[in-house]
Amino acid sequence: MENKLNFKIVGSGPTGLLLSIALSKFDCNIFLTDLLTKDRLIDKDKTYAITHSTRKILSKFRLWEKLEPFLFGFDTLSISDSVTSAFTNLSTFDLDDDISSAENIGWVVKHSDLMNVFFQEIDNYENIFFITPQRLLRKKILFDYQFFSTGANSLDKKFIDFIDLKKSYSQSCLTFKVSLRGHCEKRAYEIFRKEGPLALLPLEKNLYQVIWTSSTLKAIERLNSDKNFLMDNLSTILPNEFKLDQIVGEFNIFPVSLSLNLPVLNFKKLVFVGDAFHTFHPVGGQGLNTCWRDVNTIYDLFNKNSAITKLQLILFKFKYFSSRILDIIVTIFITDSLISIFANRNVFLFPIRKFSFLLLNKFLFTRKLVLNQMTKSLIYSSIK
């Protein structure tokens, strides 16, 4: 163990686990740590949208086939504006030729299924050690590099020299599952409303994940309301083809913000990864996909040479930030623009909103541009 590099990953959510699997390919020891136990890390009632760029990354690390049985694909995306009554439907016919064979625009996966697959994969590697912070501290290991994937509200940001830029939307997302009848089971929905977008992601036949964005005060009010009242409220804004049966499982609520954690370009051997590095508005489902593109970049930077050298580690922070910043800025611009233009009742923006949908409905190249940016991102062609 003494002859190998020692990497520490703080935070064992989806991004930390994927990073440990990626780094395990190198001649190093990975110490993966979290304050929560494995069971508590797995047992969270969350879901994620998976894009084609993520599919390519997971295939690269031989995880796609293992995760595929737990994925539910959708082949149509319905986008509508409740204020102007404009709408469009994007389908697999709008995908680029190189990804159309997948027969899905994207996929949805439950957090628990994803985490189970990743932890099972980690058990196959002798150089990954999942260990509590207390036990790790007692080992007194000198780490060659540290990666913090501790989430959007990471306390580590307060103690490490980084510049945390943040924009609050004064919004929160209320999430829960609903069983429905009379809908297109492989269709996802993004409904722009004046209070914020409402997303519906198919999890299985007759089961959808609701991601309902509104002001924080309104979201808390809905969280504390009677289930029957909430169902009645939701029924009034769902598409006409939906017949709401019941709310399933737990409610979750989380604040919405845009943030970018800029590194102080010193030679400290540590970086932030995933939501600890950047956060976006959840519109378009870009969050986890962008986090995993961080992991792909880290792997590629270390994989350029036959062995990881000390010089690589010294320069790593600079190369990592410069490699990721364009993709992150583009994602920030797109998600923030969608909220600024479509999540309000500003009458001066109505012509732009109507014209946007006109372009989507009239021109194939516009649909292709929008859909493929969402599901492929800037770096798709560079994922090898």
pLDDT digits (tens, 9 = 90+) for 177-222: 999 887 677 999 999 999 999 999 999 888 999 999 999 999 999 9
Report the DSSP beta bridge partners of residue 47: 110
Residues 6+ apart with CB under 8 A from 167: 257, 258, 259, 336
Give the pLDDT score at 158.
Answer: 63
- Closest of 144, 122, 108 to residue 38, by C-alpha: 122
Both tokens of 348, joined, read 């001066």
Tens-digit pLDDT profile for residues 327-368: 999 999 999 999 999 998 899 999 999 999 999 999 999 999
Q: Identify whether the C-beta of residue 111 lies closer than 8 Å to the C-beta of residue 45.
A: yes
Query: Closest Cα partner for 56 from 295, 279, 330, 305?
Result: 295
CATH superfamily of the domain spanning 5-44+112-166+258-382: FAD/NAD(P)-binding domain (3.50.50.60)
Q: Give the mean model confidence (pLDDT) for residues 65-92.
A: 95
Q: How confident is the model at residue 183, as a pLDDT?
A: 65
pLDDT (tens digit, 9 = 90+) per residue, 16-33? 999 999 999 998 999 999
Average pLDDT taken over every residue of the chain: 92
Q: Which residues pair with 252 in a beta bridge?
A: 175
For residues 40 and 284, the model is more confident at 40
Which amino acid makes up residue 191?
Answer: I
Query: Which residue ranges make up each domain of the chain?
Result: 5-44+112-166+258-382
Alpha-helix runs per DSSP H in the chain = 14-23, 38-42, 52-60, 64-67, 111-122, 133-139, 216-223, 227-235, 287-302, 310-342, 350-362, 364-376
Strand partners, 255: 172
Q: Which of 49, 42, 102 is nearest to 71 (CA)?
A: 49
The predicted model gives 40-64 an average pLDDT of 96
In tens, the pLDDT along 234-283 reads 988 888 878 888 998 889 999 999 999 887 777 789 999 999 999 999 99
Rounded CA separation 44/110 (Å): 9
CA–CA dist 284, 290 (Å, integer): 12
Select from 253, 235, 285 the least CA-distant residue to 174.
253
